[in-house]
A and B are shown apart, each in its own frame.
Chain A
Amino acid sequence: MADNILEVNNLKKHFPINGGIFKRQVNSVKAVDGLNFNVKRGETLGLVGESGCGKSTTGKVLLRLLDATEGEVKFEGRDIHKLDKKDLRSLRKEMQMIFQDPYASLNPRMTVAEIVGEPLDIHNLAKGKEKEERVRELLDMVGLSSKFAKRYPHEFSGGQRQRIGIARALAVDPEVIVCDEPVSALDVSIQAQVINLMEDLQDELGLTYIFIAHDLSVVRHISDRVAVMYLGKIVELADKDDLYDTPKHPYTKALLSAIPVPDPQRQREKIILEGDVPSPINPPSGCTFHTRCPYAEDICKQEEPVFEEKGEDHLAACHFTDKLE
């Protein structure tokens, strides 16, 4: 494989559940349960799935904002979960995050200049006049006037706040940005603006995005490749057009069939999944999707399907990929 900026091997994050008199660990929530994927330099990898499938946890574990239970995340060949404190600090300059809620992700007691300038202080990147200049430059990059620098977050709209959050992430000149549903809290018209901004920045700065979202249309628009998650596992990973045109996993197919089409005349077959997402505390045996899968047979309950190539650069975990077509 060519230039992988990020390699994820068997990544797991289990949250312990303690109970009983002695607070023993009685069980665990398997939020992320064995992820394997690579991210190429300069691409946008979309990560989609239902609520509670472990998307956001994945994002946090990738940045080591949470410690992994098992597995490794290699950034340019180094496992970030094995870094010591000092190396981790310098890693923070390489990997950044953009958050979902533009109201919660900015400290209400700091001005825009303080928020965007904080990373510069922490990593001693700029001081005094130089710092002011850099903050102005960053605000300019995200399309905000530098006269806003002295204002507080509550004086801005959601879209503007999200731009401030992006400017903060860009301050350290990162390589990878994990975007945790960056537009799902915004109006549709603002969503388009922010997405376009992110695309422009990617071209300009050569950024790599991991774009977490549940809106499949947005993901299709911005991603190069898309990974579909279900119950803490990636069930399908492929080039976006490949994935949207010829899904190789029944879950992906069901998700895609639920995208609204802006054409009332068009007839389409909607696959409605029955039941709820099973609990990640006791995930079903075999293929975790067998409880809701219209194609499920006995083998699905017993054997976990291998996550393997089903087409060119098209990975999926299903026993009956062939039946889908």
Chain B
Amino acid sequence: MEEPAHLFLLGTDNYGRDLLTRLLHGGRVSMFLGFAGILITSFFGLLIGGIAGYYGGWIDNLLMRGVEVMLSIPSFYLLLALAAVLPIEMSSTLRFFLIIIILSFIGWAGMARVIRGLVLSIKEEDYITAAKAIGASDWRIITKHILPRTSTYVIVRATLAIPSYIIMESALSFIGLGIQQPEASWGNMLSAAQSVTKMTSFPWLLLPGVMIFIAVLSFNLLGDGLRDALDPKSVEDRH
């Protein structure tokens, strides 16, 4: 190796930037985005679904009609519209957080709807009546007795949704609305490998895709583990 040269373990991109470094940096962005997105989505999904399902009546009607409005807008166009109203001259951190908010804004409606359905069936169970007879407040019943029962669903959905958030961000970046160069995210790195020629000549540009794949797989395994850990029935040797 000649003296001024550097060691690029995974090669470089078309600007000569080290791919490994950018992968590691972009990973932080992509993973945080997915994680924060699903946290916010789950929070609003649980809250709104829980309230709608538990109280029923006009509250339920109002919230669910709102959900339907959200669901009736094709999500990708909603994403486009929301991203398009963002001013171009924005600091990348601000842009980053706005993207998280946009992603969660799209996700909560579907979640709220399913949670509402689960709550409707759970709230008919005897132990909810028992909690009422004890004098538990509505808030306590919703948060301590009803929503924990939906955790299996929430975890499975969250672990499946994190990857889709990463990919949605890629899509945004791909059309130039997500994380902007020179900041790295797996999505905008992948957009460098847009043509067959590039893929065949510089196959290492596809590595961000491999990383997304690994992240997706890991999150699914994490979800399985988490679900088992939270289910009292799967714990055998507690005593």
Chain A residues with CB under 8 Å of chain B are 60, 63, 65, 88-89, 92-93, 95-97, 99-101, 104-109, 111, 118-119, 122-123, 150-152, 154, 165, 168, 171-172
Please give the distance in Å from B227's CB to the nearest CB on chain A: 13
Q: Which residues of B contact A (CB under 8 A)?
A: 125-127, 129-137, 140, 145, 148-149, 232-233, 238-239
What's the minimum C-beta distance from A94 to chain B, rounded to whole angstroms?
A: 10
Chain B residues positioned under 8 Å from A171 (CB to CB): 134
Does the CB pair B127–A122 fall under 8 Å? no
The residues of B that contact A97 with a CB separation of less than 8 Å are 129-130, 133
**16 A-B residue pairings within 8 Å (CB atoms):** A63-B133, A65-B133, A88-B135, A99-B126, A99-B130, A100-B126, A101-B126, A104-B126, A105-B126, A108-B233, A109-B149, A118-B131, A118-B136, A150-B238, A154-B233, A168-B134
Chain A residues in 8 Å Cβ range of B134: 92, 96, 118-119, 122, 168, 171-172
CA distance A60 to B233 in the complex (A): 31
Tell me the complex Cα distance, A168–B127, Å.
Answer: 11
Shortest Cβ-Cβ A-B pairs, 9 listed: A92-B135, A105-B126, A152-B232, A104-B126, A97-B133, A119-B134, A99-B126, A107-B127, A89-B135
Since A105-B126, A107-B127 are in contact, a sample of 9 more A-B pairs with Cβ atoms closer than 8 Å, ordered by chain A residue number, is A65-B133, A88-B135, A89-B135, A95-B133, A105-B130, A109-B232, A111-B232, A151-B238, A168-B134
Which of A63, A97, A165 has most B Cβ within 10 Å? Answer: A97
* A151 pairs with B127, CB closer than 8 A: no
A106→B136 CA distance, assembly (Å): 15
Contact across chains for A65 and B127 when beta carbons are under 8 A apart: no
Q: Which residue of A lies closest to B151 (CB)?
A: A109
CA distance A189 to B238 in the complex (A): 30
Given A109-B148, A109-B232, A122-B134, answer yes or no on A99-B238 (Cβ-Cβ < 8 Å).
Answer: no
**Chain B CB within 10 A, most for which of A88, A106, A118:** A118
With A93-B135, A97-B133, A118-B136 already in contact, the answer to whether A150 and B239 are too (CB < 8 A) is: yes
A-chain residues with CB within 8 Å of residue B125 when the two chains form the complex: 104
For A152, give its contact among B130, B132, B233 (CB under 8 Å): B233
CA distance A151 to B127 in the complex (A): 17
> Do A119 and B135 contact each other (CB < 8 Å), given the known contacts A104-B125, A154-B232?
yes
Q: B157: shortest Cβ distance to chain A, in Å?
A: 18
B130 touches A168 (CB 8 A): yes
User: Quick check: A165 and B232 within 8 Å, CB to CB?
Assistant: no
Shortest CB-to-CB span from A93 to chain B, Å, is 7
Q: How far is the CA of A141 from the CA of B130 in the complex (A)?
A: 20
**Closest CB-CB distance, B7 to chain A, in whole Å?**
53
Contacts of A88 in B (CB 8 A): 135
Q: Which residue of A lies closest to B129 (CB)?
A: A65
Complex: A114 Cα to B100 Cα, angstroms: 37
Q: Are A122 and B135 in contact (CB under 8 A)?
A: yes
CB B41 to nearest CB in A, in angstroms, measures 23
* Complex-state Cα separation, A105 to B140, whole angstroms: 17
Least CB distance, A22 to chain B, in whole angstroms: 14
A85 to B130, CA, bound (A): 17
Determine the chain B residues whose CB is within 8 A of the CB of A93 once the complex forms: 135
**What's the Cα separation between A107 and B137 when bound, in Å?**
16
Give the CA-CA distance A106 to B127 in the complex, in Å: 5
**Chain B residues near A89 (CB, 8 Å)?**
135
Closest to B145 in A: A107
